[in-house]
């Protein structure tokens, strides 16, 4: 499974685009950045997008939805459907964003052409979304419902997303279920309200020794030990441990096998 970072900065820092990530060019997780511009730069096509998964409704995770959905709906004559997934109220929230951004006519056109519908997720949800297994865990943030996810492809390779969260049982469960975990690290030197800082992230890393951490939602970039640091347009391949393909044997061995 290929993870691509389309936004690695915190809400107001300017350290990168706002939160947005993509799996295999098919599943978008949050939409705070201009994915219609960045996906082609990462080698993906907006037309291939099957679903958008939201962790919560803050603007730095959702504000580009009207533009991205509009581009997805209107760029081709007969666009494929797009599925939404997220906390209760996701469909209503997205519909309101699109209507506010573009008015009633384009709202109707975008929603109808993409045949938008939503899978409602909550703590403990374990569902299939466009070929991916999505496990949801409630996490505490500032206002409204907020979810962390562990998203698995058909091979079992799993990428997790913290969304925005304080240290919690739900966050630990999501990280423990993941082979790679995109974890917010909004602060470095001291606690920050409603978010994680480096001291807490280190606790989480210690509790999940089998998980590879990718720090995102950054106010600034520093050298760290025990984790990777995200930047916009970074791509990583995530595999189920032990699932890597065996190297192709030499031609002489293949010929001997065929002869026998």
Catalytic residues: 60
Residues β-bridged to residue 134: 127, 151
What residues have CB less than 8 Å from 152, skipping those under 6 apart? 132, 133, 135, 158
Residue 257: phi, psi to the nearest 5? -65, -45
Element (DSSP H or E) covering residue 259: helix 251-259
Angle between helices 169-176 and 198-207 (to 10 degrees): 50
C-beta atoms surrounding 50 within 10 Å: 18
Exposure b/e, 212-234, CB count within 10 A at least 16 = b: bbbbbbbbeeeebeebebbebbb
């Amino acid at each position: 499974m290929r993870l691509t970072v389309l936004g690695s900065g915190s809400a107001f820092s300017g350290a990168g685009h706002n939160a947005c990530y993509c799996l295999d060019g098919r599943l978008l997780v949050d939409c705070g950045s201009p994915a219609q511009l960045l996906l082609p730069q990462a080698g993906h096509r907006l037309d291939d997008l099957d679903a958008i998964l939201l962790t919560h409704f803050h603007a730095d995770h959702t504000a580009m939805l009207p533009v991205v959905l509009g581009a997805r709906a209107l760029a081709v004559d007969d666009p494929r459907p797009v599925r939404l997934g997220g906390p209760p109220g996701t469909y209503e929230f997205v519909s309101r964003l699109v209507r506010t951004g573009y008015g009633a006519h384009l709202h109707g056109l975008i929603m109808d052409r993409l045949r938008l519908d939503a899978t409602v997720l909550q703590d403990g949800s374990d569902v299939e979304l466009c070929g991916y297994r999505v496990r949801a865990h409630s996490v505490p943030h500032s206002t409204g419902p907020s979810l962390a996810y562990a998203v698995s492809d058909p091979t079992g390779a799993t990428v997790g997303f913290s969304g925005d969260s304080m240290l919690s049982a739900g966050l630990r469960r999501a990280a423990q279920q993941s082979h790679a975990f995109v974890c917010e690290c909004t602060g470095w030197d001291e606690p920050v309200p409603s978010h994680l800082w480096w001291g807490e992230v280190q606790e989480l890393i210690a509790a999940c020794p089998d998980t590879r951490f990718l720090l995102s939602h950054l106010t600034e970039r520093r050298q760290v030990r025990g984790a990777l640091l995200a930047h916009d347009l970074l791509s990583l391949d995530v595999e189920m441990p032990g699932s890597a393909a065996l190297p192709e044997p030499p031609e002489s061995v293949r010929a001997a096998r065929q002869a026998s």
